[in-house]
Structure 1
Amino acid sequence: MKSYKGRGVVLHSLKYGDSSLVVYLMTDVGGRRTYMVQGVRSRSGRGSKLALFQPMFPVEFEGLESPRREMDRFREVRAGFVLQSLPFDVRKSTVALFMAEVLYRLVRESEPNEALFDFVWASVAELDAMREGVANFHLWFLAHLSRLLGFCPGNDYTPGDWFDISEGLYTKNRPAHVRYMTQESSRLLHEMLTCDVARLGGIGLGRDQRVAFLNALLVYLGYHLDAINAVQSVRILREVF
């Protein structure tokens, strides 16, 4: 079998049989790919490998290509970089679970997308390292993900604008239909799209504001991509934040 080296971020894993896993990765070499990992759950196997396949964990690997392009295998797999806080901080792990499910639902392409992969890889490192602004990170992530998936506001924002979701434009007047963001959510969309991740802690949002803006972002993404409506971890996210 042909071998190749790459980096990946874990999106989802499923138990397969008594001792194996099916693992879905977003990779730099081939978009979303599926891998069979054998022996990872057995008592005699290397139990440490199981810890690699948690949501949004970064890995480096040497893969073996399946002749029928179904599920590849790993010749070697290890942590892409050492996570210092994400596995141990319930807030960060909740955000990571949400990010992984969103990407699992939305990203289906098996072709490389360098800009998208680099953004996702860097986002893991940024979430792991951040000390302030964790409660806003998923909002920042969704806003920038929408841009990388090919849709973002088509004009400049000015204070007091409404964002017309169906037209993809900021507007001075409230749209006559129901697919729009409130003035506050429109402001936050602009702020998230222009905010450096290091400044997220300076955006003061209450719980109700955060939930309202998350709902607006999900409506925005759902207008373009139906799969976002199947994301289940959003309920946990709302409870934590």
Structure 2
Amino acid sequence: MKSYKGRGIVLHTLKYGDSSMVVFLLTDVGGRRSYMVQGVRSTRGRGSKLALFQPMFALEFEGLESPHRQMDRFREVRSGIVLRTLPFDVRKSTVALFMAEVLYRLVKESEPNEGLFEFVWSCVSALDAMEEGVANFHLWFLARLSRFLGFFPGNDYHDGDWFDIREGLYTKTPARSVLMMREENARTLHHLMGCDVDRLGDIALNRTRRVDFLNAMLDYYGYHLDAISAVQSVRILQEVF
């Protein structure tokens, strides 16, 4: 079996049999890939590896490519980023669950996408390190992710603009017949697209505004990618934030 080294972000896991699991990763070497991990639920030997495969955990690994195009396996796997807060902060772990599910539902390509991967990898580090602005992180993530999925805003924002979801353009003249983000949400989208992650605490949104903008972004994503409707962690996210 051919071996290769890579980095990956955990998107989803499925139990397989009594002691094994299938792990879906976003990888730097091959986009989205699935791996069979045997004995991970065992109380002996490699049972402790289960802790590695949590949503949005970053891994470094040596993979084994199956000659029969079945799921790959790990020869070695270890943590790629030492996480100091994300596993223990319910707000951050909720955001991580949402991010992982969004990526799992929307990213299907099995080809390398360096820009997307490096963005997601950096998001893990940023979320773990941040002290202020956690409540806005998922909104910033959705706004920035749209750039890598091909439907980010295509023109400059001006004060008072609405946002045409279908065309992906800011506009002064909202059309009644198409999906639009009203002025407040268009302004928030503009701010998030241009905001550095360490300044998210400066964007003042209350709970009502945050939920309203999230729903607007889900409409935006839903118009371009139907799979967003399958994301179940939205409800948990709205309860926490």
Contact 1:15/1:22 (<8 A) preserved: yes
Deviation at 1:151, TM superposition (A): 1.0
The letter for the 1-side match of 2:180 is Y
Q: Deviations over 1:156-181 (max 9, x none)?
A: 00000000111111111122224010
- C-alpha distance in 2, partners of 1:208/1:177? 26
Contact 2:11/2:55 (<8 A) preserved: yes
Contact 2:30/2:111 (<8 A) preserved: yes
Unaligned runs of 5+ in 1: none
TM-score (norm 1): 0.99
| Aligned position for 1:193 | 193
Deviation at 1:47, TM superposition (A): 2.3
Size of the aligned set, in residue pairs, is 241
Give 1:1-241 correspondences, 5 Å limit.
Answer: 1-241=1-241
Q: Secondary structure in 2 aligned to 1:100?
A: helix
Deviation at 1:66, TM superposition (A): 1.2
TM-score (norm 2): 0.99
- C-alpha distance in 2, partners of 1:97/1:121? 15
Moved over 6 A (4+): none
Q: Deviations over 1:202-233 (max 9, x none)?
A: 11100000000000001001111000010000
Unaligned runs of 5+ in 2: none
Identical-pair percentage = 76
- C-alpha distance in 1, partners of 2:152/2:146? 6
- C-alpha distance in 1, partners of 2:42/2:19? 5
User: RMSD across aligned C-alpha pairs, in angstroms?
Assistant: 0.7
Q: Secondary structure in 2 aligned to 1:118?
A: helix
Q: Which deviates further from its counterpart, 66-75 or 14-23?
A: 66-75
Deviation at 1:81, TM superposition (A): 1.5
Contact 2:32/2:107 (<8 A) preserved: yes
- C-alpha distance in 1, partners of 2:160/2:182? 9
